[in-house]
Amino acid sequence: MIGRPVPPPLNAVQRIKKHATATTALTNSAVPRQVLALGIELEDGPLTKFHIERRFPGARDVVIDLEFCGLCHSDVHAGRGEWGAKELPLVPGHEMVGTVREVGGQVRDLDIGARVGVGCLVDSCRACEACREGLEQFCPNSVGTYGASDPNTGEYTQGGYSQQIVVNRDFVLNIPESLDPASAAPLLCAGITSYSPLRHHNVGPGSKVGVLGLGGLGHMAVKLAAAMGAHVTVFTRSEDKRESALGLGAETVVNSTDTAQLEAAADSLHLLIDTVAVPHELGTYLRTLKRDGALVQLSLPEGPMPGIDAGALIFKRLSYTGSLIGSIAETQEMLDFCAEHSITSDIELVDARSVNEAWDRMVAGDVKYRFVLDLATLGDPAKEDA
């Protein structure tokens, strides 16, 4: 999982020459209009290889040669029409890491060859209340990395299961050099999704944080909360995950099928992060919260959740809330925090030929803890049967 090396820092003269070269390259467009991708062409069909067209880059755009892209369960939901029909063909992927190939003339803060990332958003309206507050993830007209209408072209966006992407500089993240690029890719979704509620609820030394579920989101929540100084408790139905949870930074592990262990955990937490993606009752877990505690729903269960007893909230002034991804600024903060604390996702690297199998394994929960697609294999002639 060693990516291409990051070039050494450039001096001022070299940077000017780089930007001049980039501007000239954009003017004469050395950027291929067609790039190889992996996606869904037919309804209910498998992931297959085909070519897509990337837009001609503008003055504020960055052309990125992609190296790695995380496989998120959201990709499966979207690709298989489980969250409603999507325009086809559809190229998923919103956890991508690559290197800058070219920049527009108005992009002054990125060097060619710099390692960068793109997450769940590639644009927003820039004018609504959320955007003005720096919370573009809540913009009602935000543009998703795939399956959304692109205001630049009027066509649908296509994601990171591809060789290259063109993205506005404002939505491009800097990947710290100390982070392994493959295992940093899931930070662009799973990482920020876990980090944002921890920051919003001011988690720090002395905080008691619970994490329900130990999958892609859960393992990141454990690592991040522990690095923030919290005492972390993991709730899992599988006794086999006890050692894994402790190894990730948890100090307490509760088997949620054991009534005695659950009773011992009552009134022990300030915050509980719920990452379980199937419908499940919450009354048991609300009882683990202290007065003024909060249960935050991160996953989007496949079906309606059972109702909550209002008394469980009222008599301890509890909050039941949700959280999305973070803003671009918060995502960069998260990446820098991860670099400072040597945090990345635990991954299994897969090649283009294995992506359909990886999707099936994700649905079955057979991954520890995230799959990442090695995009170098996408154009490998030996893998043309993907």
pLDDT value, residue 86:
84
Distance of CA 17 to the CA centre of its chain: 34
Query: Could you give the C-alpha distances from 263 to 211, 251, 258, 285, 296, in angstroms and in order?
Result: 16, 17, 9, 10, 21
Q: What is the DSSP string of 189-255?
A: THHHHHHHHHHHTT--TT-EEEEE--SHHHHHHHHHHHHTT-EEEEEES-GGGHHHHHHHT-SEEEE
Q: Residue 65 pLDDT > 80, yes or no?
A: yes
Helix (H) or strand (E) holding 175, with range, is none
Residues belonging to the chain: 386
Q: Which tokens hold the place of 317?
A: 């002034």
Structural domain spans, the chain: 12-189+344-383, 191-322
Residue 100 and residue 113: Cα distance in Å, rounded? 5
Residue 44 and residue 77: Cα distance in Å, rounded? 11
Tens of pLDDT along 345-381? Answer: 999 999 999 999 999 999 998 999 999 999 999 986 5
Question: What residues contact residue 60 under an 8 Å CB cut-off, 6+ apart?
Answer: 104, 106, 107, 168, 169, 170
Domain spanning 12-189+344-383 has what CATH number?
A: 3.90.180.10
Residue 231 and residue 244: Cα distance in Å, rounded? 16
Q: Residue 20 pLDDT > 80, yes or no?
A: no
E strands, 80-126, in order? 96-103, 115-118, 121-123
Tens of pLDDT along 169-223? Answer: 999 999 999 999 999 999 999 999 999 999 999 999 999 999 999 999 999 999 9
Report residue 367: phi and psi, to 5°: -155, 145
- Amino acid 192 reads I
- Dihedral angle at the C-alpha atoms of 362, 363, 365, 367, nearest 10 degrees? -10
pLDDT band at 82 (very low <50, low <70, confident <90, very high): confident
pLDDT, mean of residues 304-332: 95
pLDDT, mean of residues 63-77: 96
Question: What residues contact residue 213 under an 8 Å CB cut-off, 6+ apart?
Answer: 235, 236, 274, 275, 276, 277, 299
pTM (2 d.p.)? 0.89
Q: Is the CATH number 3.40.50.720 carried by domain 191-322?
A: yes
Residue 358 and residue 354: Cα distance in Å, rounded? 6
Q: Residue 383 pLDDT > 80, yes or no?
A: no
Question: What residues contact residue 46 under an 8 Å CB cut-off, 6+ apart?
Answer: 40, 356
pLDDT value, residue 32:
55
Question: What residues contact residue 7 under an 8 Å CB cut-off, 6+ apart?
Answer: 111, 113, 114
Tens of pLDDT along 124-164? Answer: 999 999 999 999 999 999 999 999 998 878 889 999 999 99
Answer for the pair 115, 6: CB distance below 8 angstroms, yes or no. yes
DSSP state of 93: -
**What number of CA atoms fall less than 13 Å from residue 4's CA on the CB side?**
16
Answer for the pair 246, 267: CB distance below 8 angstroms, yes or no. no
Residue 118 and residue 131: Cα distance in Å, rounded? 18
